[in-house]
Amino acid sequence: MATREYVYCDYAAGAPCRPEVAAEWAAYAAHEFANPGAHHPLAYLARRRLMEAHERAANVLAVDPREIVFTSGGTESDLLALRGVMKATGQGRNELVVSGIEHHAVLLEAQRLEAEGAVVHYAPVSRDGVVDVQALRHMVGPRTALVSVMYANNETGVIQPVKQIAEIAHAAGARFHCDAVQAFGKVELKPREIGCDLMSLASAKFGGPKGMGLLYNQMNSRIVPVIVGGPQEWGLRAGTEDLPGMAAMAKAMEVAESERAGAWPNVARVRDALEQRLVAGLGENVRLNGNKAPRLPNISNISFLHIEGQAMAIELGEQGFCVGLGSACAPGETDPSHVLAAMGLSWEDAIGCIRVSFGPEITKQQGERLADLCIANYRNLRGLG
């Protein structure tokens, strides 16, 4: 347990579980303990609660409850989407298109599918971190089974042209999967309006419990299960259902959506003021990655030139601010970011990166204090006095 107060600026890695969500989980854990697959009165009640969880999540996304598949998180949802589609599609469509800045859950699964015989194409991005739509268009064709591009990047917050990409996929007869793990709760997300056949969410990113996620799977989108052994989740994800986790995730979705419009504009102002203060204080010694493209309101990816980002993060931690280095799921904790490399940053610039990701409680004063500490730490780390 923490023994001091910290300003938590790592929401992209995981948000704190909201009190009302924790209360929902506890209530279900205490009272809704029967297995929904059994055959007695308490099991029938649990089955009803199971359907209610699907209905609540579906209502937030404006989809059918039967299109909701609960999983253990964003990683499993991504894996089920990619493997589920690629293994359900015949040999005539054995090609997968992803962007070069996807989360490792997508990239590593793409590599695994490639080793098993699939043909994988990796779409490049601009220096601002936006997928090159024209390059992607040339990669999609009659043999493409699936295109997978995230809604917003988990390291830079840069929002991708997913509606346009969905149209490209559908025009070729392929399906479109969108990893929306970072975006949900911060922007309006309706899979059908985007054109998604599949969409991944992770509860831990918006105030729900860790270890819960979901995959939206459009009704006529056939996929094969990855976890087998039972008929749960429409036969797509075997195992006794985590009813408390499902109910808590649905609650977190409802709360996040209800507060979305009011919570994040102020966060964007704090983030923008932080960046302006850093540039004013450090000039050409600081680089803001992706800031010229549309971004989520709470993420800032900052390269401090000529120092290591890890050193900056350690100093800030000692001073009471918790920030990230990049993706919390990267294979090597101190490896330079594959996202920044795809954007054309040098190894030296990428290694100097930190990721600041605010929550809705951040204040103007905290943002200013963080910027001032970054400026002072940079000067100390470079020996500039």
Of the residues 9, 178, 329, 374, which is catalytic? 329
Torsion of CA 11, 16, 18, 21, to 10 degrees: 110
The pLDDT score that the predictor gives to residue 336 is 76
In the numeric block, the tokens 């599918």 are attached to: 113
Tokens 């107060």 correspond to 5
Distance (Å, whole) CA 166 – CA 156: 22
pLDDT digits (tens, 9 = 90+) for 158-168: 999 999 999 99
Residue 222, φ and ψ in degrees, nearest 5: -80, 130
DSSP state of 89: S
Name every residue whose Cβ is closer than 8 Å to that of residue 215 and which is 6 or more positions away in sequence: 68, 69, 71, 77, 80, 81, 198, 199, 200, 201
Which segments within the chain are labelled E, that is strand? 7-8, 68-71, 95-99, 119-123, 144-148, 175-179, 198-202, 213-217, 286-288, 299-304, 321-322, 353-357
What size, in residues, is the chain? 385
The rounded distance, in Å, linking the Cα atoms of 163 and 161 is 6
Cα within 13 Å of Cα(11), Cβ side: 26
Looking at the predicted structure, is the pLDDT value of residue 385 above 60?
A: no
Look at strands 7-8 and 299-304 and give their pairing: unpaired
pLDDT-derived band at 106, boundaries 50, 70, 90: very high
Predicted pLDDT of residue 118 = 96
Domains of the chain plus CATH, in order, are: 7-15+259-381 (3.90.1150.10), 19-255 (3.40.640.10)
How do residues 302-313 score in pLDDT, each as one tens digit?
999 999 999 999
Mean pLDDT, all residues of the chain: 95
Q: Tell me the one-letter amino acid at 309.
A: G
Structural tokens at position 322: 């918790």
- Residue 17 annotated as catalytic: no
What φ, ψ does residue 194 adopt, rounded to 5°?
-75, -35
Task: Provide mean pLDDT across the span 253-276.
Answer: 97
% the chain with pLDDT above 70: 96
Going by DSSP bridges, is the β-strand pair 175-179/198-202 parallel, antiparallel, or unpaired?
Answer: parallel
Asked if the model's pLDDT at residue 380 lies above 70, the reply is yes
Which run of H or of E encompasses 145? strand 144-148
On the question of pLDDT at 262 being above 80, the answer is yes
pLDDT bracket for residue 330 (50, 70, 90): low
Q: What is the distance between the alpha carbons of residues 358 and 301, in angstroms, rounded to a whole number?
A: 12
Q: Is the separation of the CB atoms in 174 and 140 below 8 Å?
A: yes
**119-123 and 95-99 strand pairing:** parallel
Note if the pTM is more than 0.75.
yes
- How does pLDDT run across 114-171, given as a tens digit for each residue? 999 999 999 999 999 999 999 999 999 999 999 999 999 999 999 999 999 999 999 9
The alpha carbon dihedral of 95, 131, 357, 308 has a sign of positive
Q: Name 217's bridge partners.
A: 198
47-76: pLDDT as tens digits = 999 999 999 999 999 999 999 999 999 999
pLDDT at 198 over 70: yes
Decide the pairing of beta strands 144-148 and 95-99: parallel
Q: Which amino acid is at 194?
A: I
